[in-house]
Structure 1
Amino acid sequence: MPLSLKRNVIAEPAVAGWYAWSYLLPPHTLAKYLKHHYRNIVESYLDEPEAHRTALKQPRFQGGPFVHEQEGSYEKVRDWYESSREEIGPLLELADAIDELEQKVLPGLTGASMESVYGTLPEPLAGRVELFYNRDNRTPDYRFIEPLLYASSYSDPGLQQVRFSTIHQDARQFALTTPVLEYTPDQVLVTVPLDSPLLDKVFAGGLEPRELDGIAAELGLDGERADTFRGFFEETPEPAAAQDAPDTIEYVGHACVFVRHQGTTFLVDPVISYSGYSHESDGRFTFDDLPERIDYVMITHNHQDHMLLETLLKIRHRVGRVVIAKSANSSLVDPDLKRILTGLRFHDVVELDDLESIDTPGGSITALPFLGEHGDIRIRTKCGWLLDLDGTRVLFAADSTNISPQLYARITATVGRVDTVFIGMESVGAPVSWLYGPLFPEKLERRIDAGRRLKGSNFEQGAAIVDTLRARSVYVYAMGQEPWLGAVMCVEYDETHPAMIDSDKLVAYVEERGGVAKRLFLHESIAVRP
């Protein structure tokens, strides 16, 4: 009988010992996070473990720079930190070179020719960056020639790993600040490039026992660790009888929505629940509910709760085309997302610029401008997705905020009204440094950092978007409330939180005007309303 992974087995990707998200794949951004973020976390923990334990007893510190302990964590983290210093040494040298460029070389340039400066660049950057002035002819800046960084020794697939384990409940510890190690005998950590076809075989399942043994051997597993790995598999369930699947829009959780229209399937911002264990919310949409083929995966922006590698790698063997916003800024804060995805062996990745479209069976996908939510830094890789389903138009606006009130009026004048809007209303958000701080050349003043936030729309902004688009159906999503989001988000609301108040007001506002509105949670089947 063929074998497949049990439904409650998770496979956590890691890079250089840390839970993998997209900014840990380009060498230049990985280097900066290692030097200015992760190394500080682990050194703080090793110096004062009790401070980390005390902090994590308070819910407000759950997403902070603290290590979540398991039994024996301290010794394992200490030994790993000592043994890994040499292998990340080249990346720390790259980070030093970037710091030297930003803090010493560029500040000395005020408008004169840059030609002679190339000869003074730190060696890791020589021949891998282009210098230029911004349009004021005084402010220097630079871009990375990313292919040359990926082709260098700073790009090391040997730093990539996957940790397999089982879960028995939705709640998971925040993963972004704790080294990914084998803490218990029932965890198996394998060193394997994240683009490896072996992973697709593991996730696709249907493996004969001898084939599974061969995969375990290729992953370097033997003895008890190989036995533990084999224990993650069970007999493959019989497939459901083939039938014509109906058209549907399914809210999957957070910002993830599944759409089927005339046999074509779409998946927006994939973050999906596991199953195979008891939980309070039966009826959710899980990996089991995905079709064998996902024709289009649509990613609104490059944050870990919208482009979750843990989910993307698990479904990679099912995916046809990935659609993303145009990127290729080749900067620290906005690395080339297409290059990241193709490096992960997604073979068909399409970038759309503002208001560009691609045709789909029975409709189209159009990229709409997306402002806000990125703390006023220059991020190009973001858009809302307008999905046309035979004339019924659905907008996935993600965390777009109406900071430029004229924008949606101009969009509506160009593309016409929209029937259904999905909009994020996490209206407080984290300060910009929470995500991007390690990439900045200097620390932001606290006052400025507190004012530049990673947030969605508030009530006034959301209502203006809805009114301008003349939408009849409005769904508030991307609130981070689903219990399986804990690995990458630490958001806890009660009814007095501004995000809840704002979203309640928007729902009431739409309903008072005769529309359909709801704040979504866990799972919802949504009628397609022309």
Structure 2
Amino acid sequence: MFPDSNVHPVAAGDEFVYLKSDVKIEPLVCGWYAWSHLVSPAALALHLRFRMLPLLRNFVDNPSIHVSANLDPNMYGGPFVSLAEADIAAVRQLIEDTETTCAELLAFADEYRAFDARLQQEAQGGTLNDYYTELPQALRGCLELVYDLHHRPALRLFEALLYAQGLAVSTQQVLLQSLREDERHFFMSTPRLPAPGSVTLPLRFSDARLDLLARARSKPASFNAIAEQLELAGEQRTALRAMFDTTPPRRRGPIDHSGDGVRVRYFGHACVLFQTAEVSVLFDPFVSIEEADDERFTINDLPERIDYVVLSHSHQDHFSPEMLIQLRHRIGQVIVPANNSGHVADPSMKLALGEMGFGNVVVLDCLDTVQIPGGRICSLPFTGEHADLSIYSKHAVALNLGGRNFVFLVDSDGRDLVMYEHMRRAIGGRIDALFIGMECHGAPLNWLYEPLLGKPLNRRNNEARRLSGADCDRAWGIVGKLEPARVFVYAMGQEPWMRYIMGLQYSPDSIQLTESQRFIDRCRSHGMEAERLYLSGEWPF
């Protein structure tokens, strides 16, 4: 018997099992893969009304266009539903269910968009007080009418009050199914329809029973205890049993670090783990669930106790509800950037984490510091990658651990080099390693944010305003100010398990690869260690 199985003792006829590595635990909102904007009630409402429902209706009306587009790999990540014509009836049902279940959210979206448009047209700098009596019912009690310093009106949301109303609670589900990485549909284009052998759990994201499933990835569990806790019987219980076997997960070496110094492990994309004998710190967790015959680390190579998780911003490749919910039982404290904007395009990460069952969340303003065993974590400015929108919920981070300094600039653009001079003084001491993303030609503004915009965006401005980081010259300018001993280019989104969330695959001559290689070559020509990370890596510091 395994005393640390974290479930009930095994009963006669029961057995200890592990969740198979190809089983995905996908949190869903209204049948869609959950990302940060779909956890926040206000952003969810606007995405539902102005992106998701129109896309589904377009598929029902013109299925051949979507089916044809899905035959072209270059169209992956575009606004095309990746389903077959045989799925039309199921999509019609999803539309009907959404209109019923989400009626309050849809009313909020309609009234928010209409009232904001009216305010933009009518309010010219005079008092806004009289408008409160004319607020539509869906907006009452959850916002403030304000001007910016240029006398432009805006709606400032009290997002916590929207959560308190429970508008989105009934929209949450969890889908379990055995699915290969390359079979996962792009998160923004395609809802998750129930498939043969799948199990849909009507659970809120905060439900502690999800921890039973997550633990079973790495620790043996009683299947009967899990099935009873989830109240599954009949076909659903049988389908769930097929997702388990008795084979323990594979691991690449010891998951804990008991030696001297700092062990750094790269888990792909923007996910980096720092470990000493005292503490573990994990940045932007988005790791492979699936075992494969390559050099990747998987979720089972993470330590059973992660003392601190640091989240840089709320984009879907850095803030993953799917990943965070599965790691929740391991995590001590989550560190996020401050929000407090009330801006519909800038949901609070703290509130979203609370909706996902996290209670120990620390919010940092610029240069705020958290002391940790053997070091500290400091919030730094992060400019760029948000298409010039006023987004507060983002920060770069300096980690001091074991006498070493590590700096994460995420997808910073390097436009104002004086800022990095200030940053260098705030960090103090030698910078041992700099991590910087170089997706220098990112998606246009409308890719993520179109449903949240108050008015249409012309094509020229949409193409100009992109979710971009630094190119070679700007990254080199940052290096000149920070003078790191070593440079890692990371967060390029090319790992196999990232495709469904990134929607892109670079060719060898893509500007993101050529610019990052130019930067690496320039660093090396000046005697500095530099490399572009992919899949996995491990280094002692």
1:432–1:454 Cα contact (<8 Å) kept = yes
Map Cα deviations across residues 304-328 of structure 1 (whole Å, 9 max, x no partner). 0001111111111100000011112
Matched residue count: 519
The Cα of 1:514 is off from its aligned counterpart by 1.0
- CA shift, 1:521, in A, is 0.7
Find the aligned partners of 2:80 and 2:380 in 1 and give their Cα distance.
Answer: 37
What is aligned with 2:351? Answer: 339
1:195 corresponds in structure 2 to 206
1:479 aligned residue (471, 479, 492): 492
Cα displacement (A) at 1:495: 2.0
Listed one character per residue, the Cα deviations across residues 382-436 of structure 1 (whole Å, up to 9, x for unaligned) are: 1111110132111111101111121101211332342211100011100011001
| Range that drifts further, 205-214 or 350-359 | 205-214
Aligned to 2:3: none
Relative distance call for 1:70 and 1:6 in structure 2 (3 A) is: farther
What is the one-letter code of the residue matched to 1:396? Answer: F
The aligned counterpart of 1:109 is 123
Match of 1:516 among 509, 512, 529: 529
CA shift digits 1:269-305 (9 cap, x unpaired): 11110234x44x2x21101101110001111110000
Task: Report the more deviating stretch, 202-211 or 369-378.
Answer: 202-211
Alignment-derived partner of residue 315 in structure 1: 327
CA distance in structure 2 between the aligned counterparts of 1:89 and 1:140, rounded to whole angstroms:
27
Amino acid of the structure 2 residue aligned with 1:285: F
> Structure 1 pair 332/397, CA: closer, same or farther in 2 (3 Å)?
same
- Aligned partner of 2:379: which letter? A
**SS of the residue aligned with 1:481?**
coil
Task: Indicate conservation of the 8 Å contact 1:160/1:192, yes or no.
Answer: yes
- Once the two structures are superposed, the pairs formed by residues 173-192 of structure 1 within 5 Å of their partners are 173-182=185-194, 184-192=195-203
* 1:150-195 deviations in Å (ceiling 9; x for gaps): 1225x2322101111113455633122111120x212222221011
Dislocated runs of 4+, deviation >6 Å: 238-243
For 2:268 and 2:255, the matched residues in 1 are separated by: 26
Cα 1:163–1:132 change in 2 (3 A) is: same
Cα distance, 1:235 vs. partner? 3.1
1:220-369 pair list within 5 angstroms: 221-235=232-246, 237=248, 245-246=258-259, 247-276=262-291, 278-279=292-293, 281=294, 283-369=295-381
Equivalent AA in structure 2 for residue 21 of structure 1? W
Letter aligned with residue 264 of structure 1: V
| Distance in 2, Cα, partners of 1:330 & 1:121 | 17
TM-score normalised by structure 2 residue count: 0.92
How far, CA to CA, are the matches of 1:238 and 1:9 in structure 2? 13
- Counterpart secondary structure, 2:200: strand
2:290 maps to a residue whose letter is S
Q: Decide which moves more: 173-182 or 321-330.
A: 173-182
SS for the counterpart of 2:95 is helix
Choose the corresponding residue for 1:437, options 419, 431, 450: 450
Distance in 2, Cα, partners of 1:243 & 1:456: 33
Partner secondary structure for residue 385 of structure 1:
strand
Identity %: 34
Distance 1:252 1:171, change over 3 A: farther
Match of 2:64 among 41, 46, 50: 50
Q: Residue 213 of structure 1: CA displacement?
A: 2.6
Distance 1:105 1:506 in 2: 47
Contact 1:68 1:178 in 2 (8 A): yes
Partner SS for 2:316: coil
Q: Which residue of 2 aligns with 1:400?
A: 412
Aligned 8 A contact 1:159 1:191 in 2: no
Distance in structure 2 (CA, Å) of the matches to 1:378 and 1:181: 35
Is 1:66–2:77 an aligned residue pair? no
Show the counterpart of 2:517. Answer: 504
Query: In structure 2, what is the Cα distance between the partners aligned to 1:85 and 1:151?
Result: 22
1:485 is aligned with what amino acid?
M
**Conserved 8 A contact 1:285-1:523:** yes
Aligned to 2:152: 139
Partner of 1:421: 434
CA spacing shift, 1:332–1:198, aligned 2, 3 Å: same
The amino acid that maps onto 1:130 is E
C-alpha distance after superposition, 1:83-120 (max 9, x if no partner): 33211111110001111221113421112122111000
Aligned-partner Cα distance in 1 for 2:480–2:190: 44
User: Normalized against structure 1, the TM-score is what?
Assistant: 0.94
Contact 2:312 2:318 (C-alpha < 8 Å) held by counterparts: yes
What is the alpha-carbon distance in structure 1 between the residues aligned to residue 495 and residue 264 of structure 2? 18
Query: Which shifted more, 65-74 or 48-57?
Result: 65-74
Q: Matches of 1:410 and 1:101 in 2, distance apart?
A: 42
Corresponding letter in the other structure for 2:289: Y
Distance 2:392 2:145 in 1: 20
Distance 1:94 1:243 in 2: 48
Q: Report the Cα distance in structure 1 between the residues aligned to 2:417 and 2:257, rounded to whole angstroms.
A: 43
Specify the alignment match of 1:375 in structure 2: 387
Comparing 320-329 with 244-253, greater Cα deviation is found at 244-253
Aligned-partner SS, 2:138: coil
Q: How does 1:122-161 map to 2 (within 5 A)?
A: 122-136=136-150, 138-152=151-165, 155-161=167-173
Distance 1:78 1:394, change over 3 A: same
The question of whether the paired residues in 2 share the 8 Å contact of 1:216 and 1:226 is answered with: no
| Change in 2 beyond 3 A, CA 1:440/1:146 | same
Report the Cα distance in structure 2 between the residues aligned to 1:314 and 1:295, rounded to whole angstroms. Answer: 15
Q: Select between 203-212 and 368-377 the one with higher mean Cα deviation.
A: 203-212
Deviation at 1:236, TM superposition (A): 6.8
Structure 2 CA distance for partners of 1:242 and 1:169, relative to 1, 3 Å: closer
Match of 2:89 in 1: 75
Unaligned runs of 5+ in 1: none
Go from structure 1 to structure 2 and tell me whether the alpha carbon gap of 1:514 and 1:336 turns closer, same or farther (over 3 Å shift): same
Deviation larger for 143-152 or 63-72 = 63-72
Letter in 2 for 1:144: L
Q: Which residue does the alignment assign to 2:422?
A: 410
Compared CA separation, residues 489 and 242, structure 1 to 2 (3 A): closer
Report the residue type matching 1:259 in the other structure.
F
Report deviation, 1:441.
0.7
